[in-house]
Amino acid sequence: MYGLMGKIRAQDGQRESLLAHLLEAARLLNDLETCYLYVVSRATDDPEGIWVTEVWRSQADHQASLTHEAIRSLIAVARPLIAGMSDRTEFAPAGGKGLPADR
């Protein structure tokens, strides 16, 4: 499995708009069997911060998701709302509630 976590900072006053787009991305990924987890969270210490946590079957599956037309369109619309990205961390999930046990 492949995991990715990162903090996205929205342009001033745009966190809720950006959050809505990221939650739409989560909805689009619901039927994608290779995406096990996609969680969008408000940062509690930053009024413009958003954390995104993802778990995928593989890094290649994550990359492939970025080529889907609906995801590409959503990224194009959301990108101007982003002021920056930080604290990006890749990890290898060992398991846990909600993740497949046979991976």
Judge contact between 12 and 47, C-beta under 8 A: no
Domain span at residue 18 reads: 2-91
As beta bridge partners, residue 45 has: none
Query: In this structure, what token pair is assigned to residue 71?
Result: 């995801």
Domain-located, residue 50:
yes
Q: What is the pLDDT of residues 4-28, one digit of tens each?
A: 999 999 999 999 999 999 999 999 9
| SS3 call for 58 | coil
Answer yes or no: is 81 within a domain: yes
pLDDT for position 102: 67
The whole-number pLDDT of residue 98 equals: 86
Calpha distance 58→80 (Å, rounded): 28
pLDDT at 103: 55
pLDDT tens column, 32-84: 999 999 999 999 999 999 999 999 999 999 999 999 999 999 999 999 999 99
Tally of structural domains, the chain: 1
